[in-house]
Structures are given as C-alpha cells and as structure tokens.
Structure 1
Amino acid sequence: MSRGFWFLAGVATTAFVTIKGREYYRRLTPEGMAEEIERRAEETAVSAKAWAADFATTYSNARAAKRSELMALLTKDERGQLE
C-alpha cells in the first residue's frame, strides 16, 4: 500500500511539473511574451475606454447639475439673456 501511494504521488508530481514546466517555458519564449504583451495591451485599452466613458458621463452630469444650479440663482430676465 505504501509503495503504491508513493508511486502515484510521484506520477502526479511528475505530471504536474511537466505541465507547469511547459506553461512556463511557453511564457518565456518570444512568442509567449508577445502574446502576454498583446493580452495586457488589450486589457489596458478596454479599461482606458471604460474609464474615459465614465469620466465623460460624470463630467456631463456634473456640468448639467451645476448649470441648473446657477440658472436657478439667476432672475428671469438674466436667464432670458443667457438662453
């Protein structure tokens, strides 16, 4: 029983090391590094677009709120001159 356990443990460890070793080897090749850089560039582009869209929405909402607030402070004649 003990020998069988250690044999299976060795087989599992060998399989794990082989699979992980191939992954790390692939990552360290020029093609693997290029893929990683491309993936990160795409992620950065997506997050930058999301940030820019969020910024534009927040800015336009804040601008509209401030404009409404300032227009409410003006008299009717002053509002007519601005519009």
Structure 2
Amino acid sequence: MRRLFWILIGAVIAVFIVLRGRELLERLTPRGVSRQVEKKGHEAAASFGDFMGTFRAAMAQREAELRHELNIPAKND
C-alpha cells in the first residue's frame, strides 16, 4: 500500500513538472518572448496614458487656481 501511495505521488509530481516545463518552455521561445514584450508594452502605454491624463487635469486645475489668485482672466482657446 505504501509503494502504491509513493508511486501515485511520484506520478502527480511528474505530471506537474511536465506541465510547468511546457509552460516555461513556451515562455522562453521567440514567440513566447514576443508575446510577453507585447503585453508589457501595452501595459506601459496604458499606464503612461493614465499618468498623462492625471497630469493634464492637475495642471489645468493648478493653472485655474493661479489665474484666480492673480486675477488673470481665463484663456480663450
């Protein structure tokens, strides 16, 4: 009974290692690397877009505050 238990444990570990190995191998192939780079590029572009939106809103708010404090009329763009 103990041998059967350890054989089953070994089989489960082997299957786990094979599946993880395939996943790792896929990530290390040129196609997998290009997918990772593309994904990170999209994430970086999205976070940069969020940053720029926040920056522009804060800049406009601060400009409005300064114009109010200095009694400068608002720009007509």
TM-score tier, shorter chain, comes to 0.7 to 0.9
In structure 2, list runs of 5 or more residues that go unmatched. none
Q: Per-residue CA shift, 1:31-66, capped at 9, x if unaligned?
A: 111111100100001001001001001111111111
| Aligned residue type for 2:14 | T
Structure-2-length-normalised TM-score: 0.86
Q: Is 1:25 the counterpart of 2:25 in the alignment?
A: yes
- Runs (4+) off by over 3 Å: none
Tell me the matched-pair count: 74
**Aligned equivalents of 1:2 and 1:62: distance in 2?**
73
* TM-score of the superposed pair, with normalisation by structure 1: 0.80
* 3-state SS in 2 of match to 1:26: helix
- Between the aligned residues of both structures, percent identity stands at 32
Q: Counting helix residues as a fraction of each chain, which structure ranks higher?
A: 1
Q: CA RMSD in A?
A: 1.6
What runs of 5+ residues in structure 1 fail to find an aligned partner?
Answer: 72-78
